[in-house]
Amino acid sequence: MNAKKLKIVVTRKLPDPVETRMRELFDAELNEADAAMNAEALVAAMSRADVLVPTVTDRLDSRLLARAGERLKLIAQFGAGVDNIDVATAVQRGITITNTPGVLTEDTADMTMALILAVPRRIVEGVKIIEADQFTGWSPTWLLGRRVGGKRLGIIGMGRIGQAVARRAKAFGLQIHYHNRRRVSAAIEEELEATYWESLDQMLARMDIVSVNCPHTPATYHLLSARRLALLKPHAYIVNTARGEVIDESALARMLEKKELAGAGLDVFEHEPAINPKLKKLPNVVLLPHMGSATLEGRIDMGEKVIINIKTFADGHKPPDRVIPSML
């Protein structure tokens, strides 16, 4: 297969170095306007492309994939998660799926740690007071937050990002606990001084801070349900830089409003970009617009992975980041 003649359709605007390289290597159709494609536009793109390069906001469900043209052979996702794609249907139709794992680990872990610090220390509240010109001088009881060091951090999902969060948190003096589908190696547990909990319920009931770092799958939808959220202590904080669907957002908002939880730091939302209005009104909640992985370096690294996956596929080999249903 001649890579130069491959028709590539990119659904959103990517960093200039990535787009330039794509134009050099492929017959690449770019989205200069950076406008999200609706369902019909996605179907049209799939009908004229050999390779589609979507992002995590492009919903490629079974109905859309059923309308994909025979020409489409590769969906090279610009993103680590693939919960927006019906991978099983795509594979059944002979379409290969790739993603970009690993390159955003450190950036997302940095943002997670930033929220772990920002919420208990009430940093955003302080910024808003300065912006409103309401600071009248220091006082011994002014904007008292909670100390982070010495607290128990429960990490849900101990993959690459969870482990990177644990390393940062350990440096800040947090005690590391985790729940994962599979226990990590003894060497990693020893390095992180991490305590494994097979029971998520038992871990949640004992944590001061909980960090969500697992992917969104059918098994993790509302993993933090109203019942599980009620297990947390009233002084506990929740941080989520993974996927909004993992938490029952309505239940979380109700508990925060009733002060049944101390606070939350959220970079993702269940019905993104819509956000529960209650969350916006609460002073003990830090809300970010899905920017956990948003560094220029990270986005360029993602683009390079996409290009490598396409080039490898064009050369007749299995792409290094091929996704298969059994992996999910």
List residues with catalytic annotation.
243, 272, 290
The helix/strand count (H/E) of the chain reads as 13, 13
Main-chain phi, psi angles of 147, to 5 degrees: -65, 140
Which distant-in-sequence residues (6+ apart) come within 8 Å of 195 by Cβ? 175, 176, 177, 178
Structure tokens at 78: 């610009």
What stretch of H or E contains 42?
A: helix 39-48
The CA distances from residue 266 to 93, 245, 274, 314, in Å, are 37, 12, 13, 39
- Say which amino acid occupies 5: K
Question: How many Å separate Cα 202 from the centre of its chain?
Answer: 25
